[in-house]
Amino acid sequence: MKKTLIGITVVGKDKEGIVANFTNFVFERKGNLERVNQNVIKGLFGMYLEASFTKKIDIKRFDSDLEKLGKQLHMEVNTHHESNSQKNIAVFVTKEPHCLQTLIRAQTRKELKGKIAVVIGTENTLSGMAKKAKLPFVLINEKNQDKAEAKIIQVCKKYDVDLIALARYMRILTPNFVWRYPNRIINIHPSLLPAFPGAMAYAQAFERGTKIIGVTSHYVTENLDQGPIIFQDSFSVKPEHTLESIKRAGQKLEAEVLLKAVRMHLADKLEVRWRKVHTK
């Protein structure tokens, strides 16, 4: 029997009874819980529920009732409905062009089961690239990350974003944002995690005389660069390689690995279970 799957995210100030209220909401509507993940960091509560329904359900009424419950409990609630329709992608960028360029090229060649709906940048460096591809570009250069993320959330809602690709986006997303898009934010990191974390991975690898350098794509969690790994690839470092040639090779691989992860996600080939990504 065909099931209707609804993902529910709940974010707000931690308090008693939140989990019970939302699980009961699902049970009262004859739904089953496929998964429940919750976390609390510094008084901020985040939860993701995935509910399934075997009987026909009025989606609009479900969303409306859920929104009312959220308001009663002073929690921000959002739903995500799985469908076969084309998924909308938001690409977050700073100034490095290679990943955005590769994603745009893939879309032009119709290699994505989705579309880039918006490009969000922390600076204007890549606005021209986006505009040339006839993609909306939104500049959000707010220094305060909480204020920046409040604006980003509104943009993502406006463009009905299903998936976020961090294309060398050089800001750290907070749990308040990450929890709203569970297993729907993809990042890439140079080096085979967690050997060389942080922004200077290539320099660290070069200084340590690494013989193989890789790139990891992973889903983003509240733990920096520690999310479930989607795909990894690598290249050999030869004695004649300089730091600059390593960076060039690494950037090319970064774009390829990010594209592969995005394509796998859009094709519904990935499932996260027990903090591991399984390929369907």
Residues with a catalytic annotation lie at 225
Residue 118 is which amino acid?
V
Alpha helices in 139-213 (DSSP H): 145-158, 175-178, 201-207
| Number of residues in the chain | 280
CA distances from residue 6 to 67, 166, 236 in whole angstroms, order as listed: 14, 25, 44
CB 240, CB 263: distance < 8 Å: no
Map tokens 């606005």 to a residue. 127
Angle subtended at Cα 83 by Cα 82 and Cα 88, rounded to the nearest 5 degrees: 90
The three-class DSSP label of residue 273 is: strand
Distance CA 187, CA 210 (A): 23
Per the structure block, which two tokens stand in for 266? 């859009």
Distance CA 249, CA 244 (A): 9
Which of 65, 114, 68 has the alpha carbon at shortest distance from 91? 114
CB 78, CB 63: distance < 8 Å: no
